[in-house]
Amino acid sequence: LVKMVKICCLGAGYVGGPTMAVIALKCPDVEVVVVDITSARINAWNSEQLPIYEPGLDDVVKESRGRNLFFSTDIEKHIGEADIVFVSVNTPTKTQGLGAGKAADLTYWESAARMIADVAKSDKIVVEKSTVPVKTAEAIEKILIHNSKGINFQILSNPEFLAEGTAIQDLFNPDRVLIGGRDTPEGKKAVQTLKEVYAHWVPEDRILTTNLWSAELSKLAANAFLAQRISSVNAISALCEATGANVSEVAYAVGKDARIGPKFLNASIGFGGSCFQKDILNLVYICECNGLPEVAQYWKSVIQINDYQKSRFVNRIVSSMFNTVANKKIAMLGFAFKKDTGDTRETPAIDVCNGLLGDKANICIYDPQVTQDQIERDLAMNKFDWDHPTHLQPTSPMAVKKQVTVSSDAYSATKDAHGVCIVTEWDEFKTLDFTRIYEGMQKPAFVFDGRNVVNPEKLRQIGFIVYSIGKPLDLWMKDMPAVA
Ligand code: NAD
Ligand code: UDX
């Protein structure tokens, strides 16, 4: 009789939940238990209303839940029984102390490791799923070994490359799975065990094995490269506006070069999400700690351009509307950091809202997946002042209550508004009836498209004054004072 492999995953978040659900679906012979310290999250995973919105996730969870996929708060029991323990806890940017504003906060990671050492009674493979600084495996190894009571732990690095909004597709069909491990017989055996899990559905040539440090660094490097592409195209978008070039045409022409490739070249108000900024700051910190200030500065500039792009958008709105948005209703379409998710972590919408609120605008927000509560919390949140200050400060909770409303559809959000800003590229915004929207608005009526979802020419024919990132400027804006 072959023993069933048991997996326990610490952390039932955006990564732990979907990743384990897909492993359970694809590996009926593996038992998967996802545990978390937040019982509300676990309860939601066990309910009809999952804690995160992700296309296709409901079906995957329903198929395996109760069969070989379980969600539990009994962390000790399930670590105790597992052969493989994934650690997929959050690793945010430190907000206090040494490295504040840059370094990764490994508090959750360390307490997870100590818990594993405490309760383990049999040998375990411990898998780093969270994104962590290079060399974290070494620290974790030390904690485990010094507390091990004779138990054998093998540490693997298996970073996750899924993107939100497409998590299920990405997990079903990954470009690659990366597994880093020690170059010892026990290390190789552990790599092989994890490889066999993925080999249930991932072709063997897409499962890459490396040493631990390469796996850890590859994750930070991949996110830095991706974010750098967006900052590159966004930097070009500013030049397009100044010269009459069209950023979509430029990106298409550039992307036709097979060495560059066409994907991930959409100019925008700037990237958001819980990963890019955090992971680049982390990379910058590691470079500085390793005596590489030039390399650190190179990657830091990716974030600086992103901050510039967000404030440029706000400045463009205010300067176009006669240099004041005070008491004007501005409709904001979208709030999530990208389409097909309800996640608002580091969404550029927060900075754009705070910028407009600072200029005393009244904002009415519509996003198909983000709740009013979430929006109010995000806008009042005291963001840590990184060493790359944006000028877009948080708004007091009282001002948020007074100046911000949330709407349940795009038409009521835009009614009587002076301007519409599009900050998330939800598909439904492409098919809105802009004639109807125009008729309900104050005149002149403005559209500021931060995601290039509308056709500016069509909207101009209706009567709108249109700004689209990186597109030839409306005559109106050419006449306005230059944007700083
Ligand atoms: P998340 O905040 O959604 O989930 C983390 C969960 O871990 C939380 O529910 C928290 O309660 C739980 N937790 C914290 N300490 C714990 C402990 N000791 N025991 C059990 N549970 C604990 O975070 P996330 O977005 O899933 O990200 C997790 C990691 O994966 C991060 O390192 C992130 O950088 C990385 N990552 C995220 C993405 C993404 O798209 N979100 C993609 C790739 C990698
Ligand atoms: C990212 C990485 O893509 C993923 O591999 C990693 O595991 C986690 O971090 P995620 O942040 O979920 O995933 O979404 P992603 O699609 O990368 O988008 C990040 C931000 O960049 C979003 O705000 C998005 O709107 C923006 N973006 C993306 C652009 O502005 N232009 C583009 O061309 C692509």
pLDDT digits (tens, 9 = 90+) for 259-273: 999 999 999 999 999
Has residue 88 got a pLDDT over 60?
A: yes
What's the 221 CA to ligand 2 centre distance in angstroms? 14
Quick one: which atom of ligand 1 is closest to the CA of 130?
Answer: 32
Query: Is 289 annotated in the active site?
Result: no
Mutate to test the pocket of ligand 2, among 337, 425, 452, 468 (most ligand atoms within 8 A of CB): 337
What's the 157 CA to ligand 1 centre distance in angstroms? 15
Closest Cα partner for 97 from 89, 105, 86? Answer: 105
C-beta 313 within 6 A of ligand 2: no
Q: What is the pLDDT of residue 19?
A: 98
CB 381 within 8 A of CB 349: no
Q: Residue 1 — pLDDT band, cuts 50, 70, 90? A: low
Query: Relative to the alpha carbon of 337, which ligand is closest?
Result: 2
What's the 275 CA to ligand 2 centre distance in angstroms? 8
- At 449 the three-state DSSP class reads strand
Closest Cα partner for 275 from 210, 335, 332, 225? Answer: 225
Q: What is the pLDDT of residue 380?
A: 85
Q: Whose CA is nearest to atom 29 of ligand 1?
A: 130
Count H helices and E strands in the chain, helices first: 19, 14
C-beta 164 within 6 A of ligand 2: yes
C-beta 53 within 6 A of ligand 2: no
C-beta 364 within 6 A of ligand 1: no
Q: What is the pLDDT of residue 323?
A: 94
Mean pLDDT of 437-446: 98
What's the 133 CA to ligand 1 centre distance in angstroms? 15
- Rounded Cα–Cα distance for residues 23 and 152 (Å): 25
Q: Say whether 164 counts as a known binding-site residue.
A: yes
Has residue 480 got a pLDDT over 80?
A: no
Has residue 277 got a pLDDT over 80?
A: yes
Q: What is the pTM of this model?
A: 0.96
Q: Which of residues 97 and 221 earns the better pLDDT score?
A: 221
- For residue 330, give the H/E element and its range: strand 329-333
C-beta 222 within 6 A of ligand 1: no
Tell me which of 275, 287, 364, 421 is the catalytic residue: 275
ipTM above 0.95, yes or no: yes
Has residue 392 got a pLDDT over 70?
A: no
What tokens does 388 get? 């790359």
Angle, alpha carbons 192-195-200 (nearest 5°): 135
Q: For residue 467, list its beta bridge partners.
A: 448
Share of the chain above pLDDT 90, in %: 88
For 6-47, what is each residue's pLDDT tens digit?
999 999 999 999 999 999 999 999 999 999 999 999 999 999
Quick one: which atom of ligand 2 is closest to the CA of 160?
Answer: 7
Q: What is the pLDDT of residue 2?
A: 60
Query: Relative to the alpha carbon of 11, which ligand is closest?
Result: 1
Closest Cα partner for 413 from 392, 394, 393, 429? Answer: 429
Angle, alpha carbons 219-88-79 (nearest 5°): 140
Quick one: which atom of ligand 2 is closest to the CA of 341?
Answer: 12
C-beta 130 within 6 A of ligand 1: yes
Q: What is the pLDDT of residue 381?
A: 81
Chain centre distance of CA 467: 26
Residue in the structure block whose two tokens are 């009244």: 362
C-beta 266 within 6 A of ligand 2: yes
Which DSSP category does 291 fall into?
T
User: What average pLDDT is seen over the chain?
Assistant: 94
Q: Residue 394 — pLDDT band, cuts 50, 70, 90? A: confident
Closest Cα partner for 176 from 218, 134, 136? Answer: 218
